[in-house]
Structure 1
Amino acid sequence: MPAPFFRFMRPRRLLLLLLVVVTAWLINFLRLDERAWFWLEEGRLSVAEQQASIWLPGYRAVVQGKSLAGLERDETSGLTYNPASDTLFTVTGKHPQLVELSLDGEVLRRIPLSGFSDPEGVEVISGGRLAIIDERRRSMTAFTLDDDTLSLDAGDYPSFDLGFADAGNKGFEGIAWDSLNQRVLLGKERGPLGVFSLSLAGEDGAAGTLQALPSKRAFVRDISSLSFDARSGHTLVLSDESRLLLELDSHGQPVSFISLIGGLNGLHQSIKQAEGVTMDAAGNIYIVGEPNLLYVFSKDAPVVLPRQID
């Protein structure tokens, strides 16, 4: 049997070969070549264009890794801001429930979910209703939440079949409400990766069919969450695998991005498995990541690294 190829290589050459292989893998996995090219394009935006967008490079982490008390055994996924209550909502998949949070990450209430198999996203939509997408059931369920709601059963509300029956665990994870066009935006994790739109029709649920939106230049490996900013008309795309938050304009073209890797944008450590993103009325950006940690990014925040909050 012939001797292994690597046995005849000098240590220095072997190290160089391994470095080349690892570098090539990182470039392909994180799509660093596309990031570098866009970073050059991003720098050409005028001040006026930056002010008309969300402009992610202006954000810094001000709260990072805050544990969501009482949710240690659950898996939070998805995040939305409710302007009526000035609070956040997320869902958990391991033990399905809808969780309301204060803006500083305090758990305000937990509502058990029945009839949901794998809730992955939640969003405040038209009329102040909430919508939950279930990745495993490939469905979206919309409902009205009252202050005294103690539990929710999917069977009590209309659901919309999102299709892609063979998607398995690569279905829809992101959901956002486009208030300018009165439609839901849905982010499919992969296979195929993409952003879709779906029009709604009052209290009876969804109408029409899914329509694919242009997002081919979204240099991410997956989509784990979406958020829509009515002020700019732009969409935030969160990618867990790429450890990236990307801003797309109304045509699906990248406008700006920030990395979620530690040491950048005020982060002490990388955000592991980022699963939900939303923006509040003041423009602050919130991200939840497993294991159930909250991060907050604010614009014009001090560059000095904040103390980590437990």
Structure 2
Amino acid sequence: MPLSFLRRPRWLACLFLLTALIAGGRAFHLDDQARIWLRELTLSEAERAASIWLPGYQAVIQAKPLAGLDEDETSDLSYSPTSGTLFTVTGRNPKLVELSLSGEVLRSIPLRGFANPEGVAVLADGHLAITDERRRTLAIFTLDAQTREIDVAQTQEIDLGFPDSGNKGFEGVAWDPARQRLLLGKERSPLSVFSWPGNGATRFAGRMQPLPNDSLGLRNLSALSVDPRTGHTLVLSAQSRLLLELDEEGEPVSFISLIGGFNGLDNSIPRAEGVAIDEQGTIYMVSEPNLFYVFRRGGEAAAEG
């Protein structure tokens, strides 16, 4: 019997193992993360110091249930520097929900006439914006301590286009105060990020302009946030299970893996749907089913709120 025949099962076993490793890596989206990790290695110390630098972050609050929202599905997250609080929206029973920085529900405001709110952004001068994926609109309105409900008919509602997007429309929205522009992220098919110049209130100039996104390498886009310190953008992807930092030119800088065992996470984040960052650099995240997370540089103690 030829010796090659005896060796064949070993080669087949190695081939099977290699195939399994590749398939497993794709299942956990490690191929996306490995590509960005290789880019991280090329950054100088000066470039890292001038960035958010996500590898230095650790989870300090994990999977905290958002009380009273058991039957809702939270989506997106935005930080208000004026109130020092966070805002998210729910889709199943449309609401705008205000949270403390430690994940306590402060108030829930019904959204009348909204079909599927997916994104929320704190703008300027008391204005907020909500994207409705099913209606394909952006609704702009003012909010104060006396607001008890928000009726879409009383907002400034703008058609975002893409009539054939279905359930793959605009999920991410974030205000960039330094550049005076609104960023809007289309979930997929195709995944896109748009820039729209404006005054952070009721006036936006011209049309949305697509930004380069060939280097993102993400499977979907769940949320956007702009760091007020560096001007860098955070892009959240539930399907790729990562949070990506982009520089001013839209190039990847660093990332956080949302898989258990990385960045201090005990368990994987189930489906990350919203991210926000404050002026101290603390990162906040919400995930289905209504879980709250906080990440801090070096894992410092969590904020009180």
Same fold (TM over 0.5): yes
Structure 2 residue matching 1:126: 3-state secondary structure: coil
RMSD of aligned alpha carbons: 2.2
User: Does residue 170 of structure 2 align to residue 133 of structure 1?
Assistant: no
Equivalent residue for 1:147?
A: 145
1:194 to 189, 192, 195: 192
Change (3 A) 1:21 1:87: same
Take 1:195 and 1:203, find their aligned partners in 2: how far apart are those partners? 20
Equivalent residue for 2:4?
A: none
Take 1:11 and 1:289, find their aligned partners in 2: how far apart are those partners? 45
Take 1:11 and 1:287, find their aligned partners in 2: how far apart are those partners? 48
Equivalent residue for 1:4?
A: none
Equivalent residue for 1:46?
A: 44
Equivalent residue for 2:90?
A: 92
User: Does residue 238 of structure 2 align to residue 240 of structure 1?
Assistant: yes
User: Does residue 121 of structure 2 align to residue 123 of structure 1?
Assistant: yes
Equivalent residue for 2:247?
A: 249
Deviation, structure 1 residue 15:
6.2
2:278 to 280, 289, 301: 280
Instruction: Answer whether contact 2:181 2:200 (CA < 8 A) is retained.
Output: no
Equivalent residue for 1:5?
A: none
Deviation, structure 1 residue 80:
0.4
Deviation, structure 1 residue 200:
2.5
Identity of aligned residues (%): 58
Instruction: Answer whether contact 1:31 1:219 (CA < 8 A) is retained.
Output: no
2:72 to 65, 71, 74: 74
Equivalent residue for 1:225?
A: 223
Take 2:270 and 2:185, find their aligned partners in 1: how far apart are those partners? 20
Structure 2 residue matching 1:155: 3-state secondary structure: helix
Structure 1 residue matching 2:281: 3-state secondary structure: coil
Q: Deviations over 1:200-232 (max 9, x none)?
A: 257544332111001211121000000001211
Take 1:34 and 1:242, find their aligned partners in 2: how far apart are those partners? 7
Equivalent residue for 2:158?
A: 160
2:208 to 191, 207, 210: 210
Deviation, structure 1 residue 127:
2.2
Take 1:142 and 1:187, find their aligned partners in 2: how far apart are those partners? 17
Question: Aligned letter for 1:258?
Answer: I
TM-score scaled by length of structure 2: 0.90
Deviation, structure 1 residue 76:
0.2
Question: Aligned letter for 1:226?
Answer: L
Change (3 A) 1:289 1:15: farther
Deviation, structure 1 residue 24:
3.6
Change (3 A) 1:214 1:31: farther
Question: Aligned letter for 1:196?
Answer: F
TM-score scaled by length of structure 1: 0.89
Q: How many residues get paired?
A: 295
For structure 2, list consecutive stretches of 5 or more residues without a partner in the other structure: 1-7
Change (3 A) 1:39 1:200: same
